Amino acid sequence: MTEVKRRPTHEEYIRGMQEYIERLKNMDKEQAKQKAIENLTKAGILDENGNTKENLVTGDFFGW
């Protein structure tokens, strides 16, 4: 049986982002920078060289 996952509400999403930022603020500056770069790369915002991608969303993302 396929598991149906509930999407977070916008309030939950914002709270999660605020908690993430607080965790980064409590880290050593260099460690926080590395963690942020790692997460932005995983999210597809940065390329493998740490540069912002020109196109963040492709048609494949939406199944076009």
Residue 58 has pLDDT above 80, yes or no: no
- Kindly tell me the burial class for residue 1, based on how many C-beta atoms sit within 10 Å of its own C-beta (0-12, 13-18, 19 or more): exposed
Q: Is the pLDDT of residue 61 over 80?
A: no
Supply the pTM of this predicted model: 0.68
- Exposure letters 20-57 (e unless 16+ CB within 10 A, then b): eeeeeeeeeeeeeeeeeeeeeeeeeebeeeeeeeeeee
pLDDT tens column, 5-37: 888 899 999 999 999 999 999 999 999 999 999
Mean pLDDT, range 42-64, rounded to an integer? 77
Is a pLDDT exceeding 80 seen at residue 60? no
